[in-house]
Structure 1
Amino acid sequence: MPAHESRSTGTRSIRRDVASARATLDAVERIAGGLATAILAALVLVWLAVVTLASVVGVGLLLVPAALRALRAVADRERARLSRWGPEVIGAPPVPTGLRAALVDSTTRRELGWVAVHATVGLLVGLIGLTLPLNAVRDATFMLWWQLVPPADATASVGLWTVHNWLGAVGVGLLGVGWVAVIVVTFPGMARLQAWPGRRLLAPDRGTDLALRVSQLTATRAGALDAHAAELRRIERSLHDGTQNPIVAVTILLGAARRALARDPADVDAILERAQTAAEQALAELRAVVRSILPPVLTDRSLADALAGLAATCPVPCRVDAAVADRCAASVEATAYLVVAEALTNVAQHSHAGHATVTVRRYGDQLHVQVTDDGRGGADERSGTGILGVRRRIEAHDGTFGLTSPPGGPTVLEVRLPCGS
């Protein structure tokens, strides 16, 4: 096999290994989040059972509305979790007022079915997902500490045998490696299994889904038009306040050069030099405006290269960690670029940060972009820092936008954009 083909094969193998490791880590995080909502679902299920038993004698009827609101709150938490890791699960309308209307509501009935399944199957999957990594770590490191514990405690995680010598310790270590293999193979499927009841039962009815979708698209269309108008105003201001002034100066200087040519030719060279400087300044500012619309490097090379250019010009030290093997749609990459540009502008102007990090990943059909800084926090999209425009851009792509910025920091802006499979 030629050397270049061998290197190419090795590179593809490394990429597959890295992708498998990331998928496993994502599955662990998803299962852990599912375990949290499963515990809440189990508590709500117990409460619903108590309220149902109390309702037999009439006492629990007063508690039914509160129990149904608790059910809706846990279901909405699961909807948010599922939307974070895949296609959005649209939220349900408020719980109907009146006991009879709430009990006959189809959404409430599906939520009751979901809470029963998630509180049992989801909880079991979550506990397995918590136990297996602990077993893997325990057995994989067993050879480091087995001699430090009492002989009766020197056993494998599943208690198959008690270790008395190094041969047994090596066997436990190999068992830990086996646990890792089991985790890599099974955890993505376990995460999908845990999420399936929620995606099946918590999605709204088809008619409701369509009505909500139409309403959502109407809102995002209006937001996209507002964002487009704001972008046009920004470009107009940049051209008017920036590029136009040097061009006016060039015009004035050329006129002065013509007059000086007839009156005092010795002054013409200095005037033309000033005109050339003004023309170069106008050209530089015009290029800056063009790059702010859509940088050529984004078209000619990649999103990672374009973001690296942004980081290089940011006054705050910025690290870019972009691992996107395949190109996304041009509109998606342009939106991701503009989001990062706006975020870094805010970091430089408002955050008083010492460092910023831009992380870009593609998971399936979604592009994840995260901008983090260690500044003073307190960012708010209502404060006029351009964050509202970022949200509107993201929503126009049916993406999701999240901003966490407690006082004192850190500030984390997280965006997910659908980009096709």
Structure 2
Amino acid sequence: MCRGGAAMKILIVDDDLIVSRRIERILSQAGHRSQVVNSAAAARAALTASHWDAAIIDWQLPDGSGLDLIHEQRRDKSVRYLYVIMLTGMSGGEHRRQGMDAGADDFLLKPLDGEELMLRIRVALRITELQKQLAARNHELAQTKRRLEEDLLSAAKVQRDLLPSEDFSFPGVTIDWFLHSCDALGGDLVTLMPIDDRRLGFAVIDVVGHGAKAAILGVQISRRFRSGNSLSRFASTISHEVLCQPSQLAMLLNDEFPMDYRNLQFFTMCYGVLDTVSGHCRYVGCGHPPPVLINGSGQARWLPVQGHPIGVMAAEKVHFQEQSCQLQRGEALVLYSDGLPEAVNAQGELLGSPALLEAMAGDPQPEAILARLDQATGAWRGHDLLQDDCTVLAMRRL
């Protein structure tokens, strides 16, 4: 049993048989296991064949330099860290510097002093034990990270399943949307809710922040809306009467989702109801960027909005003012989250709402609108990652 409580496996690399056998005997008496090799080639073979806790390597070897052998070991990042004690008869500072540059951890001078050897081994034992503990901890962290990533992927799938289906359709209107999350889980939502055979409820919601906390609140909000790709599959936990009146819906959500003051969590929303037969649209903006109307000629203009974010103020202090607009045939209505105008370039500058409105102008087909916005925001950011979720919903009346 090693006196220090743990045994090390140590490779001795020295062509001086007297010195190497003496080191082997001292290590054995202290409870450590060791093996002697007398050349660089034999050392390479031994290091490849087995794991070692430490190595005592002579500076001069018959077939090369101990420095080169150490340097080779340090270059190979795939092997476990090897604690190296360099054995040398040269005591000058320049030699020590060369040894440290090559990757040596400690030095022993010839002629060998047994007590000095054991002091160096005690240091090596302490450091290698710390290395093993660190490696074990890193392994645990890697396993935890893997499990968290799997959980995030599962949660992201749940979140995606709450979004409208890709083949969603509704009579009298063409629709397209995208949602780009800056994290695995996002705080933006898109909701499409058929109310009857001519009225469609729609919303873009932006939970403040992003990541898991925003996503959890987003899922809770989503569960208040149920959407499908046909009326027969549609179900909502909110009454038709409330769905048809955007201001009442905003009041309902404001009561149900008061701001979490511990996390300062709330959300903005633009919710509307479009009558696809008459083209009449009623909507409410709750702290959300204003919707944009693109006419048949491709001209884009903002629509007015008023209202506080959902949950920030108590019911008796808040009023959500409903707005309306007329969507002519061939015109498009666009809702978006603030991640688009707040896209940041390499100089830290925001894209801004005027530039975003300019990018929206053009072909009012929903697919074309989304493509222009994706291109404009991507070009502004360059290769930088998203700093906020970016969501766009575009609808064109037929």
Could you state the TM-score of these two structures normalised by the residue count of structure 2? 0.20
Q: Which has the higher strand share?
A: 2
Q: Which has the higher helix share?
A: 1
Structure whose CA Rg is larger: 2
Could you state the TM-score of these two structures normalised by the residue count of structure 1? 0.20
